[in-house]
Structure 1
Amino acid sequence: MKAILFVIAVFAVAIGIAVTAASNRNLGEHAVALPAAQVAASESAGATHARVVFAGGCFWGVQAVFQHTDGVLAAVSGYAGGKAGDAHYGMVSTGRTGHAEAVEVTYDPRRITFGKLLQIYFSVAHDPTQLNRQGPDAGTQYRSAIFHVTPTQRQVAQQYIAQLEEARVFGDDRIVTQLVPLTEFFIAEAQHQDYATRHPGDAYIATFDRPKLEALQRLLPEVWRDKPVLVMTGN
């Protein structure tokens, strides 16, 4: 499905169809430099692990961004937000199960705050003004959503969205990111894990995801890590 959509997107450019600034923002070179969150989540005292699930288009790029983020212990591609009792790519890609392609981020709150993760998510991981579309991918399975694990995460996310809206960092476009309690997270198939690292020459990765990594390194160098934390090797 992604390959077909990518071919369509390339063809559209070739015949001169205009691409709006809003849809371009999720290509890393158009990433937005955002202010840090004014309020950071206070994790449990002494906590060494916390997790949250981010959805924002194809999980390949979102996973890669957080795998290159210092303080992140694991970033796993999967599916969240659906009604079905199970999920796999063939089901989710139809858009009928209610799931979104998502990434479970486990992080060390002593090294990186939830507020900093939000800054990364909203600035370079995806375009939060696009609800059910990111780049060439369209459908509810590509929606912008934060599946929060704790009430504090929801509160901080709400406050940060309000902060960004007040600052009009996206101009006239509104942030449409959904805030939803995490119920279940289904880990995606092995072929989708570490995809950007394993297939750097893939046309989709080179066009839509590599620029996100370049933007992360350029805009937030303090959190950039050269060696990604991978799923398949346990690094």
Structure 2
Amino acid sequence: MATIKLYQIDAFTDKVFGGNPAAVCVLDAWLDDATMQNIGAENNLAETAFVVPKREGYEIRWFTPTIEVDLCGHATLAAAYVLFRYYNHPTATINLHSLRSGLLRVQKQGNALTLDFPTDEYTAVETPEALVQAFGKTPQETYKGKTDYLLIYSSEEHVASFNPDTNLVNSVDARGVIVSAPGKEVDFVSRFFCPQVGIVEDPVTGSAHTTLTPYWSNRLGKQVMSAKQLSKRQGNLTCEYLGDRVKITGKAVTYLTGEIEI
């Protein structure tokens, strides 16, 4: 029987029960894909991150309860938090290598962690009728990034009030749907719905901010912006647009540590 250490971390928050929970497993070598998917399903969190030491950094992969995904921000933040706190990573920067998304860096500055991610490329598109029906309101603008739709609305109240038809959201060809608007106390707010990958609404989505950051930077004329994701758990982020890269900063806290017996 093998024993694997498990950490459950709340990311993009400074308090337990906030932000987005992610599980993290630091492995000596990769498990087979089926086992990692089973662990992701058993954890039943938005994502479980697996990391393996490699050269001067780590390789990283992310599993939802149903599939492996190309990129996950909050689970990367959680993984870095675990490596800094529990594995005594010796420098202020961790290099994480993803076969699907390339080099991802995380830098520690005090209690804050900053993700350095590739910027998403998005284009203006016609709004799928299924999404108009799903959200019950036509967006002002619609874009399609590498994996997600981005719907822009006029007010924070619209974003906060949505209770979309998940069957209709699930019918579009995308990982998920980001809805966003100008914020009252922050530069912009958002929510993220992704029943396509087994999650009705993701509490705080770092990867969605690789699309949101360039959009709002161009619209607001600002390089550094404050953001809030308006899920029930909520989460706070600071986003910086650097052209082909974005920096996404947040905090994390430990909810539990344990062991998996396989």
Q: TM-score, normalised by structure 2?
A: 0.25
Which structure features the higher share of helix residues?
1
Q: TM-score, normalised by structure 1?
A: 0.27
Q: Which has the higher contact order (CA 8 A, sep 6+)?
A: 1
Larger radius of gyration: 2
